[in-house]
């Protein structure tokens, strides 16, 4: 089921398109039956279980006011799609469901550990297997009926490439030497002040001509680089702490930084080399662009499918 994550993301995206803007109701005020899809009931328990799973993936500040309605539309979308699966005789067999259940249990260390994890969350084995039944069936229908309809033209790829230059940049890498005067996290102000004074004194010595590498070997508190004159391996954006990275990225080759403070202490940096940057050639990224656009086009196709099934069916919502 290599694409199941995509189906889950697509169903949720498709259902969000129909969500109404309203204040999220208090969970305790929800009715026991929150919706009916062609006569099949969706319970409050199902809604809250799905809501908790999705909430864990969203920062609290980004939970929308109509969150429960969006989650409910997600469930409605699932049910509409699975009813279409059954109408097309694409439902998985019990053996397929059991096999997928066992596969998922392996990530928990086996069936016993999986059962214990489910019990802690108040989820039954039967509920998980029902979820798997729907997911496997929906995935099968998507791969059979929708994926073959998704195409990306050369013009679409070129347009995306030309319209998103910021996403087509090569990673810029840099290599620096540094001198670190360490300051323990719990150091009293006097110790920190002394470390800063020592760092500024070393900076002044380099400014008047003393060798950076020699001073690093004799004074740096970084055991991984001091014996090499403070030289560090190649680094790219995001691989070091922000103050260190910002200072390194602002330097010209051969230039020395001012004193830089990080959680490790005080640093003096010298930029040795820089490489990379610039626009990645179209030929090197066209395959990735095609894959990305196919996912977007599949999402749109699935959204249309959910909207069509909803319009053709009878959906009653009680929240």
Least confident stretch, 19-33, 80-94, 191-205, 242-256:
19-33
**Residue 18 token pair:** 């129909």
**What's the pLDDT score for residue 226?**
95
The full set of domain ranges for the chain reads: 4-153+285-317, 171-276
Q: Find the helix or strand (DSSP H, E) in which 34 lies.
A: strand 33-37
Q: b/e per residue, 86-98, with b = 16+ CB within 10 A? A: eeeebbbeeebbe
Sign of torsion over alpha carbons 110, 115, 120, 121: positive
Sign of torsion over alpha carbons 278, 281, 285, 290: positive
The four Cα atoms 311, 9, 78, 119 give a dihedral, to 10 degrees, of -160
The mean pLDDT of 263-281, rounded to a whole number, is 92
Confidence of residue 319 (pLDDT cuts 50, 70, 90): confident
**What's the pLDDT score for residue 15?**
46
Instruction: Provide the H-helix boundaries in 61-93.
Output: 67-87
The mean pLDDT of 155-177, rounded to a whole number, is 92
- Architecture of the structural domain at 4-153+285-317: Orthogonal Bundle (1.10)
Q: What is the mean pLDDT of the chain?
A: 89
Q: Give one DSSP letter per residue of 106-117, joined into a string.
A: HTTTSHHHHHHH
pLDDT tens track for 210-222? 999 999 999 999 9
271 touches 249 (CB < 8 A): no
**Residue 209 token pair:** 């001509």
Residue 175 DSSP label: E
Give the right CATH number for 171-276 from 1.10.510.10, 3.10.50.40, 3.40.309.10, 3.90.550.10: 3.10.50.40
**What's the pLDDT score for residue 20?**
38
Predicted TM-score of the model (pTM): 0.63
How far apart, in whole angstroms, are the C-alpha atoms of residue 210 and residue 205? Answer: 6
Q: Give one DSSP letter per residue of 189-205, joined into a string.
A: HHHHHHHHHHHHHHHHH
Confidence of residue 24 (pLDDT cuts 50, 70, 90): low
């Amino acid at each position: 089921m290599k694409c199941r994550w995509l189906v889950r993301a697509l169903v949720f995206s498709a259902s969000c398109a129909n969500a109404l803007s309203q204040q999220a109701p208090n969970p305790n005020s929800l009715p026991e039956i929150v919706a009916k899809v062609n006569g099949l009931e969706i319970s409050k328990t199902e809604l809250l279980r799905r809501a908790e799973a999705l909430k864990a993936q969203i920062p609290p500040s980004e939970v929308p006011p109509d969150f429960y309605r969006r989650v409910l539309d997600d469930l409605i979308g699932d049910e509409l799609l699975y009813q279409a699966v059954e109408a097309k005789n694409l439902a998985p067999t019990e053996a397929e469901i059991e096999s997928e259940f066992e596969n998922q249990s392996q990530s928990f260390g086996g069936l016993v550990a999986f059962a214990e994890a489910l019990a802690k969350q108040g989820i039954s084995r039967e509920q998980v297997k029902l979820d798997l039944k729907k997911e496997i069936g929906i995935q099968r229908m998507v791969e059979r009926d929708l994926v073959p309809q998704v195409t990306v033209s050369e013009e679409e790829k070129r347009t995306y490439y030309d319209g998103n230059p910021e996403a087509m940049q090569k990673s810029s890498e840099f290599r620096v030497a540094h001198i670190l005067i360490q300051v323990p996290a719990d150091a009293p102000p006097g110790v920190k002040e002394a470390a800063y004074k020592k760092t500024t004194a070393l900076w002044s010595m380099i400014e008047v001509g003393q060798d950076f590498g020699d001073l690093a070997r004799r004074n740096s508190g970084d055991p991984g680089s001091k014996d090499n004159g403070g030289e560090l391996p190649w680094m790219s954006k995001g691989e070091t702490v922000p103050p260190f990275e910002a200072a390194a990225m602002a330097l010209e080759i051969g230039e020395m930084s001012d004193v830089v403070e990080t959680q490790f202490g005080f640093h003096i940096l010298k930029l040795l080399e820089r490489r990379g940057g610039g626009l990645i050639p179209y030929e090197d990224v066209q395959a990735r662009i095609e894959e990305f656009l196919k996912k977007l086009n599949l999402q749109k196709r699935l959204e249309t499918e959910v909207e069509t099934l909803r319009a053709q069916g009878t959906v009653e919502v009680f929240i």
